[in-house]
């Protein structure tokens, strides 16, 4: 989630104009290539979420309550944000950045996005995650029945689908659901073949080298795709810089997952372990807050207003990193409060009522 927040900060945060940006403008040069590399590393974070799901759910039975909890949390944040702003609007004038969303024909789309976030696609990641959970029992049956070689062939197929668009930029069978399922399949494969993977990859050095190599290739791709070369234009890469080489963030996410899974957490101090667990429980809330149709506008507009860019390049990097950490922790605290006071009690109450009626 920290990588995802960093990705969105690059897109929306602007301490030069002191106003948020709706999107990251594509320009030639290494600076632009580096910015899009950080955006693509946000996809590393997304991939890790999907991989974690496959790793832990491959042996689990299907539970409708798991899907309901995810959907209901998304609904609470989405509708709650709208209702809160509607009440505030009675007494105060809306901030300039969200005024267009609350008037005219745009208001209908805002209401639809707020109360039907799954069908409207208000949060692409959460919607893809829910669809993945719905497909999980079928994927589990498939993975359990296939041989190791067949599972590898399936991963190769999805790998091709992820980069198919880079071949002449004409055809793509890649979407949010295939993305989620691919990550799930990787996590399931790691879980099923964990012992063999540990034997083959005893050292983390090759994986770290692979991460560095893929990162450099992603940076080169971004630089080349944003140039005006005839080859880049002919292959359609100029339109693919946002996603980049989609396979690489997924592969990097898999390497990161394997490396971290080797850590012996029994040796981690209890305070650190409890802190990690506490923060991790707020990650979906962090996403739902800062990717809300109102949330990202308000957040990055006001962060951009109060922050000033240092003159020194090194200090700029340190300041940008500090801002991401501060935003992450602040959103984590807000999400913890919202989940504890509203979302979790409402979820438990509804599930309790449903269980009583079904029993």
CA 316, CA 100: separation in Å to the nearest integer?
33
CA 135, CA 346: separation in Å to the nearest integer?
26
What is the pTM (predicted TM-score) of this model? 0.93
C-alpha torsion sign, points 124, 191, 45, 327: positive
Helix (H, G, I), strand (E, B) or coil at 156: helix
More confident residue, 266 or 294: 294
Residue 262: which pLDDT band, with cuts at 50, 70 and 90? confident
How deeply is 64 buried, as exposed, middle or buried, from its count of CB atoms within 10 A (0-12, 13-18, 19+)? exposed
Residue 355: pLDDT above 90? no
Residue 359: pLDDT above 70? no
CA 175, CA 158: separation in Å to the nearest integer?
11
Mean pLDDT across 73-88? 94
Q: Which of 101, 119, 27, 148 is nearest to 293 (CA)?
A: 101
Mean pLDDT across 227-243? 84
CB 331 within 8 Å of CB 285: yes
Measured at the CA of 228, the angle between CA 166 and CA 213, to 5 degrees, comes to: 50
Angle of the 148-163 helix axis to the 176-192 helix axis, nearest 10 = 150
Mean pLDDT across 334-358? 91
pLDDT tens-digit readout, 131-174: 999 999 999 999 999 999 999 999 999 999 999 999 888 888 99
Mean pLDDT across 49-56? 95
As a whole number, the mean pLDDT across the chain is 92
Task: Specify the long-range contacts of residues 289-293, CB closer than 8 Å, at least 24 apart.
Answer: 289/77, 289/331, 289/334, 289/335, 290/5, 290/8, 290/327, 290/331, 291/8, 291/123, 291/125, 292/77, 292/78, 292/81, 292/122, 293/101, 293/110, 293/113, 293/114, 293/122
pLDDT tens-digit readout, 179-201: 999 999 999 999 999 888 877 88
Measured at the CA of 112, the angle between CA 110 and CA 113, to 5 degrees, comes to: 65
User: How is the chain split among helix, strand and coil, in percent rounded to 5?
Assistant: 75, 0, 25
Q: Which of 194, 199, 198 is nearest to 148 (CA)?
A: 194
CA 308, CA 322: separation in Å to the nearest integer?
13
In this predicted structure, which of 53-62, 115-124, 235-244, 296-305 has the lowest mean pLDDT? 235-244
């Amino acid at each position: 989630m920290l990588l995802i927040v960093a990705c969105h900060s690059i897109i929306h945060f602007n301490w030069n104009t002191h106003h948020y940006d709706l999107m990251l403008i594509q320009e030639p040069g290494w600076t632009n290539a580096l910015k899009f590399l950080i955006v693509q590393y946000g996809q590393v974070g997304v991939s890790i979420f999907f991989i974690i799901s496959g790793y832990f759910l491959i042996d689990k039975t299907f539970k409708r309550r798991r899907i309901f909890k995810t959907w209901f949390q998304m609904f609470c944040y989405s509708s709650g944000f709208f209702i809160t702003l509607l009440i505030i609007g009675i007494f105060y004038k809306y901030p300039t950045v969200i005024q267009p969303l609350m008037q005219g024909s745009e208001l209908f789309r805002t209401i639809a996005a707020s109360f039907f976030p799954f069908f409207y696609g208000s949060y692409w990641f959460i919607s893809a995650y829910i669809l993945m959970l719905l497909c999980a029992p079928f994927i589990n049956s498939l993975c359990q029945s296939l041989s190791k070689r067949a599972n590898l062939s399936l991963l190769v197929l999805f790998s091709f689908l992820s980069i198919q668009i880079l071949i002449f930029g004409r055809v793509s069978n890649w979407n949010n659901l295939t993305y989620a399922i691919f990550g799930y399949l990787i996590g399931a494969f790691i879980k099923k073949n964990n012992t063999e993977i540990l034997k083959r990859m005893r050292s983390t050095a090759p994986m770290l080298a692979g991460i560095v190599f893929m990162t450099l290739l992603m940076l080169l791709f971004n630089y080349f795709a944003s140039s005006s070369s005839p080859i880049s234009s002919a292959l359609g890469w100029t339109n693919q810089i946002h996603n980049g080489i989609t396979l690489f963030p997924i592969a990097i996410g898999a390497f990161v997952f394997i490396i971290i899974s080797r850590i012996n957490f029994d040796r981690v101090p209890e305070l650190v372990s409890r802190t990690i667990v506490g923060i991790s429980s707020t990650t979906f809330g962090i996403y739902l807050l800062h990717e809300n149709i109102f949330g990202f506008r308000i957040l990055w507009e006001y962060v951009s207003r109060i922050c000033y860019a240092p003159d020194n390049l090194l200090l700029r990097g340190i300041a940008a990193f500090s801002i991401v950490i501060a935003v992450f922790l602040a959103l984590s605290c807000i999400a913890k409060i919202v989940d504890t006071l509203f979302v979790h009690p409402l979820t438990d109450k509804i599930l309790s009522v449903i269980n009583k009626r079904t029993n």
